[in-house]
């Protein structure tokens, strides 16, 4: 393989793939995937993608206002305008690329409703929308001669070089040194910094750590969203019970099997995610009971099975028939609103370094993301990035990069001993205790001191550089940045 590319995209989720597909076909593009090409938070997204394509009973101002309400009016309004105005065309582009959104019998799109939305505007593919999008984008990307896809490749280090960037990539136990004019980080979220998360196994904050170590501005990393209805089986990777289940009429019940949201919010089960999560925690304190349930048994069983085939089948494996039984749920880490700070074109504070998707901070979500705005943000700002790079190439052309000379994979001496066992477990325990739905300031202060010790231990060097090391370094950096903002 070659070592020089015009653009290197780190991440093969919706943001990474859509960026690659919208770049000028004359550009040499490499898409790196840390593990399998289909393993990403994007592929796990169930609910759908929100966009006002049908303006009969909806408009972009309503979508913007719903997003502002959910975000506590802390949203970046300029970025949000880009999101809601450009989103409809990008959703239509997805359809042109083969994405199969569900339709009604009359051929119109079966738009659904989720918490915080005032209108039915969410396109979906059953309850498996993200995977449908990623699979179709990946299939198209494989037909593009200018796009190279590389699996099982984790970036150890990213450095600025004359004319662009150099990357140290670990693949199959060997280090590859790659160069590019433009680098796009689309590495997803940070869920694995918590004991329980709905995120995939790759969500360790790698892109955020690479950008931070390079000197890019990181903003609002403490704005972590906790989804109110993860399946309460206490697995590290919690199965999400999509917000669209509540959108289709499911009730939220406490341990006494009673609806309780009316005591907290007039929007009931369809209040924004942070509100519902807070209400669950408050109710648990009142009742001294952590048992909560979703109940959709009052709906037609055939409708439920057809609308939520993946959720239905996964729950059956757990011994639960959602058409007859209550579904145990509890809040769980789900999404990051902060990240690598970027402008309207997706560019970070470092020239020609871009970020898209969950690892970026566009400001569109404010303090809390509105349901189904995440896939929308991924594709809209991926398109913005591609257009910006295309315009720069038209103006300046492309050229070979003078490679950065890596002295080691991480900039300090390395060794043959793996990092001590249990560090990642300790990081997760600290974050779960100190920065969950209702943050614990005392625990955060104590935890921050320990995180600093662990960060120093990991970064001092002398360890074997493998995937475990790189991910542990990312997790401790993310934990450090979150708690630093909190205290």
The residue with greater pLDDT, 115 or 193, is 193
Choosing from 290, 317, 332, the residue where a domain stops is: 332
Rounded average pLDDT over 154-182: 96
Catalytic residues: 273
- Whole-number percent of the chain with pLDDT over 70: 100
Residues 263 and 328 in one domain: yes
Q: What's the number of domains the chain is made of?
A: 3
The alpha carbon torsion through 55, 299, 240, 109 (nearest 10 deg) reads -30
Tell me the two tokens of residue 251.
Answer: 């009730």
pLDDT of residue 19: 98
Residue ranges making up the domain that contains 232? 227-332
C-alpha span between 458 and 456 (Å, rounded):
5
Residues 272 and 299 in one domain: yes
The residue with greater pLDDT, 482 or 41, is 482
Domain contains 417:
no
| DSSP class per residue in 237-257 | BPPB--HHHHHTTPEEE-TTS
Residues 344 and 328 in one domain: no
What pLDDT, in 10s, does the model give residues 186-227? 999 999 999 999 998 899 999 999 999 999 999 999 999 999
Q: How confident is the model at residue 1 (pLDDT cuts 50, 70, 90)?
A: low
The residue with greater pLDDT, 187 or 234, is 187
Residues 175 and 322 in one domain: no
Residues 235 and 344 in one domain: no
Domain contains 413:
no
The answer on pLDDT for 309 being more than 70 is yes
pLDDT of residue 436: 95
The answer on pLDDT for 334 being more than 80 is yes
Domain contains 72:
yes
Rounded average pLDDT over 128-134: 94
Residues 236 and 288 in one domain: yes
Rounded average pLDDT over 110-116: 89
Domain contains 479:
yes
Q: How confident is the model at residue 320 (pLDDT cuts 50, 70, 90)?
A: very high
C-alpha span between 5 and 27 (Å, rounded):
8
The answer on pLDDT for 250 being more than 80 is yes
The three-class DSSP label of residue 34 is coil
The answer on pLDDT for 413 being more than 90 is no
Instruction: Classify each residue of 16-48 as buried b or exposed e, where b means 16 or more C-beta atoms within 10 Å of its C-beta.
Output: bbbbbbbbbeebbbbbbbbbebbbbbbbbbbbb
Domain contains 314:
yes
pLDDT of residue 239: 87
C-alpha span between 349 and 361 (Å, rounded):
12
pLDDT of residue 412: 85
Q: What CATH number is given to the structural domain containing 482?
A: 1.20.58.100
Q: What share of the chain is helix, strand, coil (3-state, %, to 5)?
A: 40, 20, 40
pLDDT of residue 380: 98
Rounded average pLDDT over 327-333: 95
Rounded average pLDDT over 145-167: 97
């Amino acid at each position: 393989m070659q070592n020089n590319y015009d653009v290197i995209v780190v991440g093969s989720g919706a943001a990474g793939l859509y960026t690659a597909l919208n770049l000028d076909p004359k550009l040499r593009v490499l898409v790196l995937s840390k593990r399998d090409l289909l393993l990403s938070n994007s592929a796990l997204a169930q609910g759908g993608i929100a966009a006002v394509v049908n303006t009969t009973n909806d408009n972009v101002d309503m979508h913007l206002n719903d997003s502002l309400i959910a975000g506590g009016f802390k949203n970046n309004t300029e970025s949000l305008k880009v999101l809601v105005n450009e989103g409809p065309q990008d959703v239509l582009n997805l359809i042109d690329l083969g994405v199969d959104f569900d339709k009604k019998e009359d051929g119109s799109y079966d738009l659904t409703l989720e918490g915080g939305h005032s209108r039915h505007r969410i396109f979906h593919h059953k309850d498996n929308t993200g995977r449908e999008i990623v699979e179709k984008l990946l299939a198209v990307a494989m037909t593009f001669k200018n796009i190279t896809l590389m699996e099982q490749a984790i970036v150890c280090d990213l450095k600025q070089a004359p004319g662009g960037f150099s990357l140290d990539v670990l693949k199959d136990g060997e280090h590859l040194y790659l160069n590019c004019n433009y680098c796009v980080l689309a590495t997803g979220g940070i869920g694995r910094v918590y004991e329980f998360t709905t995120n995939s196994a790759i969500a360790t904050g790698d892109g955020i750590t690479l950008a931070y170590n390079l000197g890019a501005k990181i903003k609002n990393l403490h704005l972590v969203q906790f989804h109110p209805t993860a399946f309460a089986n206490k697995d590290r990777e919690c199965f999400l019970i999509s917000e669209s289940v509540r959108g289709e009429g499911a009730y939220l019940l406490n341990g006494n099997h009673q609806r309780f949201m009316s005591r907290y919010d007039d929007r009931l089960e369809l209040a924004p995610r942070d509100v519902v999560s807070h209400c669950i925690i408050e109710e648990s304190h009142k009742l001294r009971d952590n048992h909560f349930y979703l109940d959709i048994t009052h709906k037609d069983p055939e409708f439920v099975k057809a609308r939520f085939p993946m959720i239905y089948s996964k729950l059956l494996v757990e011994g639960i028939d959602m058409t007859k039984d209550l579904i145990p749920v509890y809040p769980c880490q789900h999404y990051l609103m902060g990240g690598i700070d970027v402008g309207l074109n997706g560019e970070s504070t470092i020239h020609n370094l871009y970020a898209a998707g969950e690892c970026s901070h566009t400001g569109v979500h404010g303090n809390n993301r509105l349901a189904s705005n995440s896939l929308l943000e991924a594709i809209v700002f991926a398109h913005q990035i591609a257009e910006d790079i295309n315009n720069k190439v038209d103006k300046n052309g492309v050229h070979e990069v003078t490679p950065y000379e890596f002295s080691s994979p991480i900039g300090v001496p390395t060794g043959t001993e793996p990092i001590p066992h249990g560090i990642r477990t300790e990081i997760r325990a600290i974050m779960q205790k100190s920065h969950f739905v209702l943050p614990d300031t005392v625990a955060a202060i104590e935890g921050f001191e320990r995180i600093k010790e662990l960060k120093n231990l990991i970064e001092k060097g002398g360890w074997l550089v493998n995937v475990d090391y790189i991910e542990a370094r990312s997790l401790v950096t993310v934990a450090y940045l979150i708690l630093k903002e909190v205290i």
